[in-house]
A and B are shown apart, each in its own frame.
Chain A
Amino acid sequence: MSQLVFDPSKVMDIDYTKRTEYLDRLEALRAGMRTLKEVPFHPSLPDKGYTNRTLYVNVDSLEVKEKPVTQQMKDVFIGGRGFGLYQLWNAVKPTTRWNDPENEIVISPGPVAGMTQYAGTGKSLVVSLSPQTDIPIDSNVGGFYGPLLKFSGFDGLELQGKAAKDVILFVDGVKGIIRLEEIEGGPEDSHVLAELLTHLYAEGEKDLPNVSVVSTGAAAKHSLIGMLNFSFYDRRRKCVRFKQAGRGGIGTVFRDKRIRALVVRGPKVAGDMNHPVDPETIAKTGIKYHKEIRENDGSQCMMRRNGTAHIVEIMDAYDLLPVHNFQYGSHADTHKIDSAYWQQRCTQATVDGCWYGCSMACAKGADGLVLRTGPYQGDMVTVDGPEYENAAGLGSNCGVFDPDYLLELNFYCDTYGICTITWGTLTAFVMECYQRGILNKERTGGLEMTWGNAEADLEMMHQLARGEGFGKIAGMGVKKMKEYLIKQGWGDPQLINDIGMENKGLEYSQYMSKESLAQQGGYALTNKGPQHDEAWLIFMDMVNKQIPTFEDKAEALYYFPLFRTWFGLNGFCKLPWNDVVPADNSSQPEAHKVPEHVQNYVDLFSATTGVKIDKEELIVQSAKVYNFQRVFNIRMGKGLREHDAAPYRSLGPVTKEEYESRAERYDQQIITEMGLDPAGKSTEEKMALHRTWRTDRFSKLMDSVYARRGWTSNGVPTLARLKELGLDAFPEVVEVVKQHL
């Protein structure tokens, strides 16, 4: 593949300042709001990255309290996802389910979050018991909420209880006010709601960037796949934009608690608000990285031009792009939704970081989209990019190659508050069921779910937002849909289980792992279910070929989930780690780890907190939280070997057509890997050979990875491992494990 060259003359001439506004609804919204409780607090800025307290709010009892951040919390859990998991553990019992009042949503930005000098430092981590998996889910999300919450005075926010009526929680970090307000009527969908709330709570035009809103949309409350939108004010466009805490249904928990929105109004941001111990190191490291982006991005991933969408054509070229529910790896129409197209369609004259200082600036926006369907039909909107996952999930995986429809799907997922990745995978599943006659027009209530039928796809989503029809069934997610189809007696259960791409109840994200053993493990051997947050290995496995042997892959499945966990402890974005690399990276030892950037992270952490670490200690920090989370899963009834099983579609060819689309490669593997002769064998026989070989290979991978992680063959962290990590200081953790040893 040749490197794409950006041609500014091809960028579409679209006015990025124009869109439909909803501000005329502000008065009506205000009229429907009533203060339930107001509590004063002392705003404070962090010291060495920590404010040393978190905020607890019970939306039912209206209890509001501050909790201290202990030294033990910092030492063991660091912050972010670590704090979230720790506070969630303390809040729930093994019997707690997602819709019990004691379930919490914890939002924590991490000690480094809010730094403005390095790319990707504004993330919030959101943790809750997932309605899809019944175990903790964590999501790493941009937008300004987390940093502004911290600059108001809190390292985290715990939300517990279930309100009787819809509520808004407002934290004013300038005036020192925490206010719970009831809201009657008013919009639910994020693009309207967040615009109104931003204007409602900002004190004048100049204050708009200091307000951030967390919200979801109408589909969250009718489904299990609700997501949360975290807003940031786009100064160039003069509009509210979003980043999503997408996976696992946290938006559903949010609406189940009857929270309509969270709003923070923080102080005006400056460059030193974390009060780091060593600002000079941070400044130098940041500037070095900005230069690296300036010099290398144009000849590497072009993140500043097309965000993560550059992977579309690479995956297609390597036969790894999910097409038609992960059956195939490429498609003749991919060029319609590849990065060359998005470079023209996305606005290029803006600043697209989701927090200050992100020079990678991947949060591209497509402006001037006039909606063709749904309740906002005819409105002109700005929609995100789309990111790779959305182009692949809403696009190729469902056979949708019309870019405007793809953007519309993306828009509605966002404003309705559902995860694009989940929607892509579950729609692809529905479409394959339709293709194979497991579903038909009668069973879907009239929806013709044929490949590429974006209108039917959108209608299914509008149904979900209205809480109606087949859309509501789809909104349960793949796992529950499989159970539903099997219960109805529609289709062969084994086929349904083979092609329904979920593990632990969470839908796969958009990489075809069939040909990548490392990615098979990267998906299934995860704490929270198959996503690309923990172990995105397909690129280094299949494109860069940096982990060729079985041992390399097992080692990668030890190292990378831990390395990547660390981003979530601190409030870092993962993309700046390897979506640009230093020019000499490939000649460095362990190039796939991007050693110079690892050192940057070590330096940034130490320079912020004053706690000196090195790259080995970084992994130990993660291992504590990662193993704690594994034990948490076990405590909730999952987290064992059986729960790491993968649907066969993610391991190998389920159907004859799939086999035949890659017959040469598969036949060859029969010779080289199995030592057999494919000649004279039927496709079915060859498929059976593959199934045995592939399932066996996956099982062996599990054995190796578990051993490397210090777990038993049943996937349980050993007492020795817990002790090594200091987790034996928590008797409850030890108790959970003991029952499985």
Chain B
Amino acid sequence: MKQLVIDFQKCDAGRNCNHECELECAIKVFKVDDPAQAALQIKAYEDGGGKAVLCDQCGDCVVVCPSEALKRNKLGVVMIDKQLCVGCYMCIGFCEKDAFMRNPDWIVPHKCTSCGVCVKVCPHGALSIVDVPEPAVRII
């Protein structure tokens, strides 16, 4: 399955790059000019280093979705079907990585599609899309 990964040896947590990845994701993928709506969020720690909130396509949200709005596509990526979504936000509450996102202006939540758009704009080459085996379905 396709998975977005980040290398913190290379990423400087937005200190010198203006969060290009977030902005690109928000604009290109979700069509809003607001990096807070990106499917990945880079946070800098005060004492150096940082962390990324990103989806590893673990599939936990698929298990809890009551309306079968979440399914893996052929590439193993967890995709949301907006027509089926009932806006319950269980996917958000049960994502251990806090990677399921919500824009207060929309009823349907959104998430990373492992599309790689952000990868291309990272000036430090910290992001990449890798192919890893799908994890087993968990009971949640």
Contacts and interface: CB of A to CB of B under 8 A. Distances in A.
A328 to B, nearest CB: 35
Nearest to A291: B93
A671 interface: no
Interface in B65-114: 65-68, 83, 85-90, 92-94, 96, 102, 104, 107-108
B134 to A, nearest CB: 16
Residue of B68, B94, B139 most packed against chain A (CB within 10 A): B139
B68 to A, nearest CB: 5
Contacts of B65: 351
A265 to B, nearest CB: 17
A286 B89 contact: yes
A357 B137 contact: no
Given A283-B102, A349-B139, A271 B85 contact: yes
A721 interface: no
B64 interface: yes
A286 B139 contact: no
B139 A290 contact: no
Interface in A282-313: 283, 286-291, 293-294, 304
A283 B139 contact: no
A56 B114 CA distance: 52
A673 interface: no
Contacts of A304: 140
A135 B89 CA distance: 41
A271 B105 CA distance: 12
A348 B87 contact: no
Given A271-B87, A356-B67, A357-B89, A348 B139 contact: yes
Nearest to B95: A294
B94 A294 contact: yes
Contacts of B89: 117, 283, 286-287, 290, 357
Interface in B38-71: 63-68
A24 interface: no
B70 to A, nearest CB: 11
Contacts of A294: 93-94, 96, 140
Contacts of A349: 63, 137, 139
Contacts of A288: 93
A294 B98 CA distance: 12
B94 A116 contact: no
A290 B92 CA distance: 8
A719 B68 CA distance: 54
Secondary structure of the A contact surface, majority rule: loop
B67 A286 contact: no
B81 to A, nearest CB: 11
Given A8-B139, A270-B86, A286-B88, A351 B93 contact: no
B99 to A, nearest CB: 13
A71 to B, nearest CB: 29
Contacts of B93: 286-291, 293-294, 359
A235 interface: yes
A475 interface: no
Given A116-B88, A351-B66, A359 B139 contact: no
B137 A235 contact: no
A353 interface: yes
Interface residues of B, number: 24
Contacts of B68: 235-236
A271 B108 CA distance: 8
A289 B90 CA distance: 9
Secondary structure of the B contact surface, majority rule: loop
Interface in B106-140: 107-108, 137, 139-140
B104 A356 contact: no
Contacts of B139: 6, 8, 11, 348-349
Residue of A6, A236, A272, A351 most packed against chain B (CB within 10 A): A351
Contacts of B108: 271
Contacts of B64: 351, 359
B87 A287 contact: no
Given A283-B102, A351-B65, A357-B66, A270 B90 contact: no
Interface string A348-390: 1101010011110000000000000000000000000000000
Residue of A116, A268, A304 most packed against chain B (CB within 10 A): A116
Given A348-B139, A357-B88, A359-B90, A271 B107 contact: yes
Residue of B89, B94, B108 most packed against chain A (CB within 10 A): B89
A76 B8 CA distance: 60
Contacts of A116: 86-88
A151 to B, nearest CB: 11
Nearest to A359: B90
Contacts of B107: 270-272, 279
Contacts of A664: none
A504 B107 CA distance: 47
A679 B96 CA distance: 62
B104 A280 contact: yes
Given A271-B87, A357-B86, A290 B94 contact: yes
A269 interface: yes
Contacts of A209: 67
A284 to B, nearest CB: 9
A248 B77 CA distance: 50
Contacts of A268: 83
B94 A353 contact: no
Residue of A236, A290, A291 most packed against chain B (CB within 10 A): A290
B124 to A, nearest CB: 32
Given A351-B65, A351-B66, A356 B137 contact: no
Contacts of B96: 294
B88 A271 contact: yes
Contacts of A279: 107
B71 to A, nearest CB: 12
Contacts of B92: 287, 290
Contact of A353 (B63, B66, B140): B66
A358 B83 CA distance: 20
A286 B93 CA distance: 8
A70 to B, nearest CB: 31
A358 B90 CA distance: 8
B93 to A, nearest CB: 2
Contact of B88 (A11, A117, A291): A117
Contacts of A358: 66
Contacts of B90: 290, 357, 359
A545 B67 CA distance: 40
A349 B62 CA distance: 11
30 contacts: A116-B88, A235-B67, A235-B68, A270-B85, A270-B107, A271-B85, A272-B87, A279-B107, A283-B104, A286-B89, A287-B89, A288-B93, A290-B89, A290-B94, A291-B94, A294-B93, A294-B96, A294-B140, A304-B140, A349-B137, A349-B139, A351-B63, A351-B65, A351-B66, A356-B66, A357-B66, A357-B86, A358-B66, A359-B93, A359-B94
Interface of A: 6, 8, 11, 116-117, 209, 235-236, 268-272, 279-280, 283, 286-291, 293-294, 304, 348-349, 351, 353, 356-359
The 6 closest A-B pairs by CB, nearest first: A271-B87, A290-B93, A357-B88, A271-B107, A116-B88, A356-B86
Given A8-B139, A287-B89, A290-B94, 20 more contacts: A116-B87, A116-B88, A235-B66, A235-B68, A236-B68, A271-B86, A271-B88, A271-B107, A283-B89, A287-B102, A290-B92, A291-B94, A294-B93, A294-B140, A349-B139, A351-B64, A351-B65, A356-B66, A357-B66, A359-B90
